[in-house]
Amino acid sequence: MNEQQDSGVSRRGFIGALGTGATMLAATPFLPGNAHAQGQPGVAAAPTTSARTRTIPRTEQTLTTLGLGTFLTFDARPGDDRGHLGEVFRRYVAGGGRVVDTSPLYGSAEVSVGAFLAGTPEASEIFVANKIWSTGEYLGDESHAVASFEQSRLRIWRDTIDLMQCHSIVNAPVVIPLMQAWKKEGRIRYVGVTHHEAGAQDQLAEFVERGGVDFIQTNYSIFDRSAERRLLPAAADRGVGVLVNLPLEKARLMKVVEDRPLPDFAREFEAATWAQFFLKWVMAHPAVTTVLCGTSNPEHAEDNVQAMYGPLPDEAMRRRMVQHMETIPGFADIARMPWYPDKDAQYQGLIRAGQARARARTGQ
């Protein structure tokens, strides 16, 4: 990946502007693929003054290194107040972010994204990644996937969707060729495939190695580093874009470090908070294009965007960061913790309502 810095508003400048409620543009991503490589993979040459971007060699597409995820966090019941979600979206964009990932499977998140895009002056600059989750009535049936795609176009109100992904490798033998046809027809720009579990990474690597996808999306964090074994090297070798999910392990990393001070060495790569510490660790891998991080808290969104600014840790520092985390009680047990510890009440949209109905029917 080539890394570039666009001319833009200084980090301190746009923090101050956000603090006074002003909307400022901190970056101009999606420029032609003329990014210059930094001196070391995954290390910024100097403290940055604008949002960091990376260019994907295979496509020449340039994306900001932080994306906005929408699973659970952007799912609200019809009629509920979405003002705080709109503010999350606004602060993410004001901070220079230009990548949003959603799915028809995310309850009302896709609808929320469409509504917020419609009210965003920078909407045309935002790279939208969406998904197809469809099995059809029988093997080879693509009608459900087609219906899902048309629904997504209407919800997001875009004739062409930047990236369509086969969601969690569901019905991939049917969905991926269909998306490849849509790409040829100009209905989408790129084809991808996703999963959020480490056990699926070999399958994702096979798609990359066969050459049929432009992007993959996988889980990767300072806790779960399994993507480094095969998937990330394969993507780097073939110039395939990498979107990362679960960088904060669905808030479980934040729970483990709750009330703990940052290590002093975090100053060396300008991480002012634990969220920036964990996000910068993921961003620093040279194969990673964009790190997806969702939140329903506007202040957290403002915090997260700062990970796109300032230097990134080099490989020696990344090892030191892992070693530090391994000294913290509970870190090794993250996989056994529930998602979003102590925050479940915040995410009571259509997804949670459906899950509750299912539990009630089964008596569980």
Collect all residues with Cβ–Cβ distance below 8 Å to 200 and sequence separation of at least 6.
Answer: 168, 169, 218
- Return the CATH number at 310: 3.20.20.100
Averages of pLDDT over each 10 residues, the chain, 364 residues: 47 36 33 30 46 93 97 90 95 98 93 95 96 88 94 95 97 95 97 96 97 96 98 97 97 96 98 98 98 97 98 98 98 93 76 76 77
Query: 273-283: buried (b, 16+ CB within 10 Å) or exposed (e) per residue?
Result: bbbbbbbbbbb
pLDDT for 3: 67
The domain of 230 spans 2-362
> How many domains are there within the chain?
1
**What stretch of H or E contains 130?**
strand 127-132
Strand partners, 131: 165
Amino acid 7 reads S
Give the SS3 label for residue 35: coil
pLDDT for 16: 39
Q: What does DSSP assign to residue 233?
A: H
Please name the residue that has the structure tokens 């394969």: 234
Going by C-alpha positions, the residue among 259, 215, 212, 260 that lies closest to residue 235 is 215
pLDDT for 360: 80
Give the SS3 label for residue 33: coil
Cα(352)–Cα(69) distance, rounded to whole angstroms?
A: 17
The tokens for 355 are: 């899950």
The tokens for 77 are: 């019941």
Collect all residues with Cβ–Cβ distance below 8 Å to 270 and sequence separation of at least 6.
Answer: 47, 276, 309, 310, 311
CB 349 within 8 A of CB 108: yes
Question: What are φ and ψ of residue 206, in 5° steps?
Answer: -65, -40
Q: How far is CA 296 from CA 101, 227, 243, 283, 338, in A?
A: 14, 27, 20, 22, 18
Kindly provide the residue ranges of all beta strands, DSSP E only, lying in the chain, ordered along the sequence: 2-5, 52-55, 62-64, 66-69, 99-101, 127-132, 161-166, 188-194, 215-219, 241-245, 290-293
Going by C-alpha positions, the residue among 69, 70, 68, 67 that lies closest to residue 349 is 70
Give the SS3 label for residue 207: helix
> Rounded to two decimals, what is the model's pTM?
0.86
pLDDT for 29: 36
